[in-house]
Amino acid sequence: MKAQKKKRAAFAVRSFFSGLLFVCAFADVNALAQQQQPQFTPQAEDPDSYPDAPGRDDAFYACAGCHAFRLVANQGLSRERWDETISLMSERHGMPKLEGKDREIILNYLAKTYPPKTDQNRGFQNPFLKQ
Ligand code: HEC
């Protein structure tokens, strides 16, 4: 009789603690989930955020309609690769074809401002000096 009581008490204690553990774990996960909510502050992009050079506004308005211009600015490509990228945007993503002078101006801007990344400008970059 006594032994059975002890067992029952032990079981009760164990269930209590595992229940507590469960609640704590759950609360923790919840707290974490709340902490990890992205602090999203929408920022309107405008051409002034990017290095000033001839063709900047044309490039910005041609490319920023479908995705952030940041996506473009994050690349570092050779002139040929930029040229291919422009074609790709038209062929695959339905960008109005860029031809003649417009294409030249935009291509010049992209190739000059976003050339392939060298070892020199890889690694830490001071965000205050960048733009
Ligand atoms: C008609 C819509 C549209 C326009 C205009 C547009 N793009 Fe894109 N672009 C896309 C889509 C769709 C993707 C693929 C989805 C994504 O990565 O957001 C993409 C992706 C990219 C990528 C990323 C490719 C990769 O490998 O990750 C680059 C670079 C890019 N575009 C450059 C440009 C440039 C430069 C211009 C302007 C000359 C431009 N885009 C204009 C639709 C467009």
Can you list the domains of the chain with their CATH numbers? Answer: 47-118 (1.10.760.10)
Mean pLDDT (whole number) for 61-78? 96
Q: Please tell me if the CB atom of residue 63 comes closer than 6 angstroms to any atom of ligand 1.
A: yes
Instruction: Please tell me the predicted confidence (pLDDT) of residue 90.
Output: 97
Q: Please tell me if the CB atom of residue 107 comes closer than 6 angstroms to any atom of ligand 1.
A: no
Instruction: Please tell me the predicted confidence (pLDDT) of residue 80.
Output: 97
Query: Nearest CA to 104 among 62, 70, 74?
Result: 62
Site to probe by mutation for ligand 1, drawn from 61, 95, 109, 110 as the one with most ligand atoms within 8 Å of Cβ, is 95
Instruction: Please tell me the predicted confidence (pLDDT) of residue 5.
Output: 76
Ligand 1 centroid to residue 130 C-alpha, Å: 23
Query: Nearest CA to 127 among 78, 73, 88?
Result: 73
Q: Please tell me if the CB atom of residue 75 comes closer than 6 angstroms to any atom of ligand 1.
A: yes
Look at residue 77 and tell me whether its pLDDT is greater than 80: yes
Look at residue 26 and tell me whether its pLDDT is greater than 70: no
Any residues with CB less than 8 A from the CB of 55 and at least 6 apart, and which?
Answer: 105, 106, 108, 109
Rg (CA), the chain: 29
Instruction: Please tell me the predicted confidence (pLDDT) of residue 38.
Output: 63
Mean pLDDT (whole number) for 57-81? 96
Q: Are 87 and 97 in contact (CB under 8 A)?
A: no
Task: Give the model confidence (pLDDT) of 97-131 as tens digits.
Answer: 999 999 999 999 999 999 998 766 566 777 787 55
